[in-house]
Amino acid sequence: MTGFRRHITRESIAGDQKDIVSGFFWEFIVNKWPNAVYYPGDQVFKTRLMTCSPPSDISSAPLETNLHGFDIIMPGDIARSGSCGGVFQDFIDQSIINIFQDWSDKTQDAETRLSLPKSELYMDASVFQLDRQLNPIRMWEMRTGLLENWDCPPNFGGDNNIGGQVSFSIKFEFIKPKVLNK
């Protein structure tokens, strides 16, 4: 018998009874809301946010060169910007649509194509992934975010038709992922 795969046993996989990481529990926290943009408050924002996609496009670009036929690779730049998005369920008060319409209009006025200063339009936020006891296990700190896109397609027809789902994406200049339960 060989020594391969001897580490794979039921005891080595599940013996210490650790929970599997779930994507079901998470929290989106606004650390700084854009000064010029309508905000209905944390209660509306947090309870209507149905899904959240933390940034996954952080990438590394190693420095590479070739000297006398030998490839040399060194640590290089890590892209620390990216997008965070999600989906809200809006209600008849249209608080969520008002957020993104206001933010969009102030980013670029439809008639004049002018914009407010960046300092009035950016947000800082954090996304936390939680375990099944609601303890934070992972965090994405995101700074200087601007509205990238948003969409609320009209959804007409049918007696049980539910509309008002607003999808969005915010592009952040700086993202720092962090594992919290080492």
Distance separating alpha carbons of residues 75 and 121, to the nearest angstrom: 34
pTM value is 0.80
Task: Report yes or no on 173 lying in a domain.
Answer: yes
* 66 occurs within a structural domain: no
Considering only CA atoms, which of 103, 89, 76, 90 is closest in space to residue 171? Answer: 103
- Does residue 146 or residue 133 have the better pLDDT? 146
DSSP 3: S
Highest mean pLDDT among 20-34, 130-144, 154-168: 130-144
| One-character DSSP codes across 117-175 | -GGGT-EEEEEEEE-TTS-EEEEEEEEEEEEEEEE------STT----EEEEEEEEEEE
Tens digit of each residue's pLDDT (9 = 90 or more) over 98-122: 999 999 999 998 899 999 999 999 9
More confident residue, 18 or 136: 136
Give the pLDDT band (50/70/90) at residue 38.
very high
**pLDDT tens-digit map of 44-93:** 999 999 999 888 766 777 788 898 998 888 887 777 888 999 999 988 88
What is the percentage of the chain residues whose pLDDT exceeds 90?
Answer: 49
Other beta carbons less than 10 A from residue 100's beta carbon: 21
Supply the range of the domain harboring residue 29.
Answer: 20-54+80-179
The per-residue pLDDT for 32 is 97
pLDDT (average), residues 118-128: 96
In the predicted model, what is the mean pLDDT of residues 135-141? Answer: 92
pLDDT value of residue 143:
95
Say if residues 52 and 28 touch (Cβ distance below 8 Å).
Answer: yes
Q: How far apart are CA 115 and CA 113, in angstroms?
A: 7
pLDDT confidence of residue 105: 95
Residue 90 lies in a domain: yes
In a domain, residue 60? The reply is no
Our count of domains for the chain comes to: 1
Between the two ends of the chain, the Cα-to-Cα distance in Å is 36
Check: CB of residue 107 under 8 Å from CB of residue 121: yes
User: Residue 107 belongs to a domain with what CATH number?
Assistant: 2.30.110
Residue 55 identity: P
Residue 61 lies in a domain: no
How many residues are present in the chain?
182
Q: Considering the chain, what is the average pLDDT of its residues?
A: 86
Q: What is the pLDDT of residue 119?
A: 96
